[in-house]
C-alpha cells in the first residue's frame, strides 16, 4: 500500500470541506450599497459645486478678468445700439415724425407756385 | 442573475478598475467569484460561526465598495484581498484577547485529546484538525488555511500574512508536527 503525503491529505481534506453558503441577504445589501454610493458619486459629478469653486477661487484670474471685460463690453455696446428701444412714448411717434421731418416736395411746390405767380 | 454575464472573462484586476469607475456588474461578478472562498476563510478563522462569517464577509465587500481605489493593480488582487480579510480577523482576535487567557503550550499539550480511533470519517478528522489549529493560534491556522485550502504558495502566504517566508514555513512545519502527533494512528497510511 502506498503512503499518502500529509500535504496531499490536508489539501484533499480542506478542499472537500463543505460548510454551507453565505446568506443571500448579503448580496442584496451589498448591491444596494453599491447603487447608493454610485448615485452619490454621479450627483457630485453633475453638480455645479466644482464650477462655483473655481469661479470664486483666486486661480485663473487673468481668464476670469478677460471674461468679465468681454461681458461688460458686449452689454455696453448692446445698450448703445438699441438706445430708446422698449420705451413707450406718450405721443404718437408717427405723427411726430411727420411734423419734424422737412418735406422737400412742399418746398419745391411753394417755389413753383411763387414762380407761376410771378409769371402771371 | 441580472449582472455578471459580460464580465465573466475579465481578470480580478480588470474588474477592480471597472468597479472604481462605478460598474455594478463588475462588482457583482467579483462578489460571486470570491464570496464562497472568503466566507469559508472567515468561518474557519472565527471559530466556525456562520453568523460572524456572514458579518465579516459583508464588511469586507463594503470596504471594497467604499474604497476600491485602495487596491494597487500592480499587485495580485487575491493576495491583497486575503490580506484585508486577514487583518479583519486579526482585529477581531485583538478585541477578543481582552477577555481571553493566554494559553501556554504546556496547557495545550494536556488539553488536546489524541485521536485513538482506528478509522475516522473525513468530517471527524477535519473537526479534530480545526480543534488542534484553534488551540495552536490564529497565525498557524491562517497559514494552514491559505496553504492547503486556498493553494497559495509559501511566498504568497508570506505576503498575505505580512511575514517572512521562513516564518510561514516554520509555522506550517509546527502545525503539521502537532497534527502528526494527533494523527499518529494513521502513520501506516500517511507519510508525515
Q: B6 in contact with A at a CB cutoff of 8 Å?
A: no
Q: Give pLDDT, residue A60.
A: 82
Which string of DSSP letters, residue by residue, matches A63-111?
HHHHHHHHHHHHHHHHHHHTTTTTPPPSS-HHHHHHHHS--HHHHHHHH
pLDDT value of residue A98: 53
Mark which of B30, B65, B100 sits at the end of a domain.
Answer: B100
Query: Could you say which of A14, A19, A33 has the minimum Cβ distance to residue B43?
Result: A19
Q: Confirm whether A36 is domain-assigned.
A: yes
Last residue of a domain, one of B100, B122, B156: B100
- Report how far residue A40's alpha carbon sits from residue A32's, in angstroms, rounded to the nearest whole number: 12
For the stretch B48-78, pLDDT in tens is 889 999 999 999 999 999 999 999 988 899 9
* Closest CA–CA distance from residue A68 to any residue of chain B (Å): 36
Residue B69 structural domain:
1-100
**Phi, psi of B67, rounded to the nearest 5 degrees:** -135, 70
Residue-level pLDDT at A119: 54
* Distance in angstroms (rounded) separating the CA atoms of residues B26 and B6: 9
Give the number of domains in chain A.
Answer: 1
Do residue B143 and residue B177 come from a single domain? yes
Lowest mean pLDDT among B4-18, B22-36, B112-126: B112-126
The three three-digit cell numbers of residue B176, written as one number: 503539521
Tally of structural domains, chain B:
2
Last residue of a domain, one of B49, B72, B100: B100
**Residue A118: predicted pLDDT:** 53
Cα nearest neighbour of B180 on chain A: A6
* CB spacing of A5 vs B65 below 8 angstroms: no
Query: Residue A85: pLDDT above 80?
Result: no
Number of cross-chain residue pairs from A and B with Cβ atoms under 8 Å apart: 87
Q: Which domain holds residue A110?
A: 20-84+91-119
CATH code assigned at B145: 1.10.10.10
- Establish if B173 touches chain A: CB-CB under 8 angstroms: no
Q: Which residue of B has its CA nearest to A39?
A: B22
- Pick the residue of A29, A30, A31 with the most B CBs within 10 A to test the interface with B by mutation: A30
Task: Please indicate whether, in this complex, the C-beta atoms of B31 and A30 are within 8 angstroms of each other.
Answer: yes
Q: B165 with B154, same domain?
A: yes
What residues in A contact B125, CB-CB < 8 Å?
A: 13
- For A26-52, the pLDDT digits (tens) are 999 999 999 998 887 766 666 677 777
Mean pLDDT score, B32-38: 95
Instruction: Tell me the whole-structure pTM to 2 decimals.
Output: 0.67
* Closest Cα in chain B, distance from residue A85 (Å): 53
Task: Summarize pLDDT for B136-158 with one digit per residue, the tens.
Answer: 888 899 999 999 999 999 999 99
Q: For residue B170, what pLDDT band results from cuts at 50, 70 and 90?
A: very high
B110 and B141 share one domain: yes
Helices (H) and strands (E) in chain B, counts: 9, 1
8 Å CB contact of A10 and B148:
yes
Using CB atoms, which residue from A4, A21, A26 is nearest to B58?
Answer: A26
Count of CB atoms situated within 10 Å of the CB of A115: 10
Question: 3-class DSSP state for residue B190?
Answer: strand
Residue of chain A whose alpha carbon sits nearest to that of B48: A19
Q: Is residue A2 part of a domain?
A: no
Query: Which of A16, A21, A42 is facing B122, going by the closest CB pair?
Result: A16
CATH number at residue B78: 1.10.1740.10
Amino acid at each position: 500500500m502506498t503512503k499518502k503525503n500529509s500535504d496531499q491529505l490536508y489539501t484533499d481534506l480542506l478542499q472537500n470541506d463543505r460548510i454551507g453558503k453565505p446568506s443571500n441577504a448579503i448580496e442584496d445589501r451589498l448591491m444596494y450599497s453599491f447603487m447608493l454610493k454610485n448615485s452619490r458619486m454621479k450627483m457630485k459629478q453633475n453638480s455645479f459645486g466644482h464650477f462655483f469653486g473655481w469661479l470664486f477661487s483666486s486661480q485663473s484670474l487673468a481668464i476670469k478678468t478677460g471674461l468679465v471685460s468681454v461681458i461688460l463690453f458686449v452689454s455696453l455696446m448692446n445698450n448703445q445700439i438699441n438706445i430708446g428701444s422698449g420705451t413707450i412714448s406718450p405721443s404718437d411717434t408717427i405723427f411726430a415724425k411727420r411734423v419734424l421731418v422737412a418735406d422737400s416736395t412742399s418746398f419745391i411746390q411753394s417755389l413753383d407756385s411763387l414762380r407761376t405767380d410771378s409769371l402771371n | 442573475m441580472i449582472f455578471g454575464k459580460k464580465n465573466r472573462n475579465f481578470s480580478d484586476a480588470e474588474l477592480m478598475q471597472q468597479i472604481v469607475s462605478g460598474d455594478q456588474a463588475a462588482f457583482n461578478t467579483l462578489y460571486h467569484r470570491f464570496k464562497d472562498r472568503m466566507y469559508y476563510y472567515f468561518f474557519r478563522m472565527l471559530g466556525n460561526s456562520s453568523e460572524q462569517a456572514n458579518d465579516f464577509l459583508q464588511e469586507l465587500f463594503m470596504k471594497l465598495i467604499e474604497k476600491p481605489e485602495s487596491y494597487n493593480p500592480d499587485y495580485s488582487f487575491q493576495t491583497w484581498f486575503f490580506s484585508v480579510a486577514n487583518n479583519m480577523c486579526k482585529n477581531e482576535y485583538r478585541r477578543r484577547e481582552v477577555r481571553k487567557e493566554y494559553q501556554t503550550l504546556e496547557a495545550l499539550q494536556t488539553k488536546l485529546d489524541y485521536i485513538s480511533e482506528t478509522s475516522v470519517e473525513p468530517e471527524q478528522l477535519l473537526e479534530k484538525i480545526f480543534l488542534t489549529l484553534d488551540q495552536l493560534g490564529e497565525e498557524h491556522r491562517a497559514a494552514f488555511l491559505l496553504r492547503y485550502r486556498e493553494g497559495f504558495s509559501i511566498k504568497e502566504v508570506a505576503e498575505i500574512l505580512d511575514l517572512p517566508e521562513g516564518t510561514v514555513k516554520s509555522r506550517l512545519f509546527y502545525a503539521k508536527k502537532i497534527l502528526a502527533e494527533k494523527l499518529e494512528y494513521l502513520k501506516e497510511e500517511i507519510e508525515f
